[in-house]
Amino acid sequence: MYPEDRVLIAPLPDPADFALLVKHGWYRIPQRHMPKGVYAEYFAFYFNGRFHDQKWAIHYYAPRLGHELTTRRALLPHQPDHPRADNLYYKVQLGELRPLSTPIVSLHWRRITFIHTTWDRFQDAAEINDLYLDGEEYVNRQFAALKEGVHPANLYKIKENRSPYYSNGSYNADSFARGLYL
């Protein structure tokens, strides 16, 4: 587990959905709710009001092992006439479901759809709002997300005898020869 690992907080609308998760080790998400995919290293689950004593809190998380796109009908064959039976869903395969030693609670009722956060925030959170915290001690989420495909570098302002410029601390021979220290 790394501080920049992504954690997706996902709602569990009904105890029956939690039972499916425990029994089969997967969670379903309508594709229309996650058009860009379900890319997170971990999934955590927010229990709504139907969970009575455990309501309005995150009690469990699990590592994501993989996912596939399929229909609701394939996921829940005992509901062939459901109005969304032919809609596409992500079937997210999960590893061992792990309980939190202290649940992450919502201090007041709120409707949770999906919350994207990082492992460091998730690990430190006592309350739902803590999942959104920013600060020097936490991973820069935009930088962490971008580096997967773009490989960015932080820029540093450099002041020398000439006008200030920004550098990422690296250079190549061509840019160095032209005086461009990028």
Quick: pLDDT tens for 2-19: 888 999 999 998 999 999
Q: What is the mean pLDDT of the chain?
A: 84
Sign of CA dihedral 24, 31, 15, 79: negative
CA pair distance 143, 4, nearest whole angstrom: 10
Q: What is the mean pLDDT of residues 148-165?
A: 62
> What confidence score (pLDDT) does residue 128 get?
93
Question: Exposure of 42 by Cβ count < 10 A (0-12 exposed, 13-18 middle, 19+ buried)?
Answer: buried
SS3 for 139-157, per residue?
CCHHHHHHCCCCCCCCCEE
> What confidence score (pLDDT) does residue 166 get?
60
Confidence of residue 34 (pLDDT cuts 50, 70, 90): confident
Q: What is the mean pLDDT of residues 143-155?
A: 60
Q: Which residue has the higher pLDDT, 146 or 5?
A: 5
Domains of the chain by start residue, with CATH: 6-146 (2.30.130.30), 153-182 (no CATH)
CA pair distance 65, 17, nearest whole angstrom: 19
Q: Return the bridge partners of 67, or none.
A: 92
Note the pTM of the prediction, 2 decimals: 0.75
Two structure tokens written together for 42? 């971990």
pLDDT tens for residues 62-120? 999 999 999 999 999 999 999 999 999 999 999 999 999 999 999 887 788 899 999 99
Q: Are 108 and 134 in contact (CB under 8 A)?
A: no
Extended strands (E) in 42-97? 42-47, 57-71, 88-94
In the chain, the N- to C-terminal Cα span, in Å, equals 32
